[in-house]
């Protein structure tokens, strides 16, 4: 299920549905942190993707 959610998030981003992709990646990131840990490369990649999306949405923490 985790991989299908990640695929969905990536697809949404590629379709320029940035806000939806960001929300999907938030769920993916939580799962990755639980399964893979904070420092795993996949977890870090998802964080990086989310940073790009925040910039695209002009929403900065």
Q: What integer pLDDT is reported at residue 1 of this predicted model?
A: 72
Rounded-to-integer distance, Cα 20 and Cα 16, Å? 9
State the greatest distance between any 2 C-alpha atoms of the chain, in Å, as a whole number.
Answer: 30
Rounded-to-integer distance, Cα 27 and Cα 2, Å? 9
Q: What integer pLDDT is reported at residue 3 of this predicted model?
A: 86
Query: Considering Cα of 14, then 45, then 28, then 49, what sign does the dihedral take?
Result: negative
- pTM for this predicted structure: 0.83
Give 23-52 pLDDT, tens digit per residue: 999 999 999 999 999 999 999 999 999 999
How many domains does the structure of the chain reveal? Answer: 1
Confidence of residue 2 (pLDDT cuts 50, 70, 90): confident
How far is the CA of 17 from the CAs of 1, 23, 28, 34, in angstroms? 21, 10, 16, 26
The domain of 13 spans 2-57
């Amino acid at each position: 299920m985790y991989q299908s959610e990640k695929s969905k998030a990536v697809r949404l981003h590629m379709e320029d549905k940035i806000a939806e992709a960001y929300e999907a990646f938030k769920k993916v990131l939580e799962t990755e942190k639980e399964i893979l840990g904070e420092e795993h490369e996949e977890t870090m990649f998802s964080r990086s993707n989310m940073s790009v999306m925040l910039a695209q949405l002009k929403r900065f923490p």
